């Protein structure tokens, strides 16, 4: 059965007449999560999880036409039964399950199988057809447990404190920043950039409790952060703002930090391979467990990962999409000092 097709606007559900994370304006867009490569401006109507709705309103616009659902709360659209299931990627991230005449297709968006203590943990959904990302679809990517990363990061903060240094963590404002917050909770006072603070407020409006933090106004005297913890987005990593922080040590937080040849490694004092995506084993084990007869591989290591799946007997196909990798993005809209 052809339940979906890949078009110039995005992934289209044929009988349902809706799109999944489309990259061009459409009438109805069902959104997996709030990152900019999956949730774009210009749709007539959005459908997402309850936790994603306030994020979309901050990032796209308060006046968008947006309906939201909880996890495992099915809705029928033109005869297609649609439901959201936890993807574990970031707060509100969802796999989209579509069922039509007994045939089930699942679109993951981005996902991870580790429980980060903030996002709703990943839920395995059995299906006939599975659309998976492959951001870290190479055997070299194998994540440590969240607890081990937390220990590494708090140890680094302690070392910096002993040297009267400020620990500056650099990570994407939505998802990564909250992971960092959770990982270094209790290691010192935590300050965040305003872009992170706004998203924290949206997340907290859903009843999700985050560790204590203070929004840092870079126009004020930032000497008060000496010896403490500061979290900023990648766009500030080489800015005049971050240079205001006295005696700082910088750490990039991204799955790419597992590869020491990362282009950012040289400009940082430390790197922590914290990712909001599934690693190699997470991808393989999930795909096998779904029982899908057909697997579509989207953004990431598409060619290599698809080839491997076919070699182990899984019917897999390459799919080119407009989804990217927010972990490596340094183009978040950040206000400058003059604004």
Please report, in tens digits, the pLDDT of each residue of the chain (339 residues total).
Answer: 889 999 999 999 999 999 999 999 999 999 999 999 999 999 999 999 999 999 999 999 999 999 999 999 999 999 999 999 999 999 999 999 999 999 999 999 999 999 999 999 999 999 999 999 999 999 999 999 999 999 999 999 999 999 999 999 999 999 999 999 999 999 999 999 999 999 999 999 999 999 999 999 988 888 899 999 999 999 988 888 888 898 999 999 999 888 765 545 557 899 999 999 999 999 999 999 999 999 999 999 999 999 999 999 999 999 999 897 655 433 333 333 332
Q: 31 is written with which tokens?
A: 């959104």
Look at residues 283, 248, 293 and name the one whose alpha carbon lies nearest to residue 267. Answer: 248
**Distance between CA atoms of residues 214 and 197, nearest Å:** 8
**Chain-centroid distance, C-alpha 4:** 24
Looking at the chain, the domain(s) classified CATH 3.40.50.10890 span 146-273
Q: What is the pLDDT at residue 27? A: 98
| Prediction pTM value | 0.93
Q: Which helix (H) or strand (E) holds 167?
A: strand 166-170
Q: 193 is written with which tokens?
A: 């950039």
Phi and psi torsions of 295, nearest 5°: -125, 130
Q: 268 is written with which tokens?
A: 């940082």
- 3-state SS, residue 154: helix
Sequence-distant (≥ 6) Cβ neighbours of residue 314 within 8 angstroms: 287, 288, 292, 295
The structural architecture, per CATH, of the domain 146-273 is 3-Layer(aba) Sandwich (3.40)
Other beta carbons less than 10 A from residue 146's beta carbon: 17
Look at residues 98, 117, 116, 118 and name the one whose alpha carbon lies nearest to residue 108. Answer: 98
**Distance between CA atoms of residues 286 and 126, nearest Å:** 10
Residue the block writes with tokens 């500061």: 230
Q: 238 is written with which tokens?
A: 């080489």
Q: What is the pLDDT at residue 264? A: 52
Q: What is the pLDDT at residue 51? A: 98
Look at residues 336, 257, 281 and name the one whose alpha carbon lies nearest to residue 138. Answer: 281
Domain 4-140+277-328 listed as CATH 3.60.15.10 = yes
């Amino acid at each position: 059965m052809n339940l979906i097709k890949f078009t110039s606007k995005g992934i289209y559900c044929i009988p349902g007449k809706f799109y999944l994370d489309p990259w061009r304006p459409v009438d109805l867009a069902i959104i997996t999560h709030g990152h900019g490569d999956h949730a774009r401006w210009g749709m007539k109507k959005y459908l997402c999880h309850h936790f994603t709705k306030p994020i979309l309103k901050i990032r796209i616009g308060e006046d968008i036409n947006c309906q939201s659902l909880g996890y495992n709360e099915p809705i029928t659209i033109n005869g297609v039964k649609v439901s959201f299931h936890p993807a574990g990627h970031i707060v509100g991230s969802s796999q989209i399950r579509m069922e039509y005449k007994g045939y089930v297709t699942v679109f993951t968006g981005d996902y991870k199988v580790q429980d980060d203590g903030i996002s709703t943990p990943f839920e395995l959904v059995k299906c006939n057809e599975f659309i998976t990302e492959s951001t870290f679809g190479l055997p070299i990517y194998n994540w440590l447990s969240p607890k081990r990363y937390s220990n590494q990061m708090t140890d680094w903060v302690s070392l910096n404190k002993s040297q009267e240094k400020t620990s500056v963590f650099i990570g994407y404002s939505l998802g990564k920043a909250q992971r960092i917050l959770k990982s270094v909770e209790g290691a010192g006072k935590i300050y965040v950039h305003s872009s992170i603070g706004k998203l924290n407020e949206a997340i907290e409006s859903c009843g999700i409790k985050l560790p204590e933090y203070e929004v840092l106004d870079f126009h004020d005297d930032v000497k008060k952060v000496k010896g403490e913890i500061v979290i900023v987005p990648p766009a500030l990593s080489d800015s005049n703002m971050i240079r205001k922080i006295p005696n700082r040590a910088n750490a990039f937080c991204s799955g790419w930090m597992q590869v020491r040849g990362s282009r950012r490694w040289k400009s940082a004092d430390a790197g922590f391979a914290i990712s909001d995506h599934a690693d190699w084993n997470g991808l393989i084990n999930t795909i096998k467990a779904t029982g899908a007869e057909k697997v579509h591989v989207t953004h990431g290591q598409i060619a290599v990962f698809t080839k491997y799946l076919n070699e182990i007997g899984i019917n897999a196909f390459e799919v080119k999409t407009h989804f990217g990798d927010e972990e490596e993005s340094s183009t978040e809209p950040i206000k400058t000092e003059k604004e």
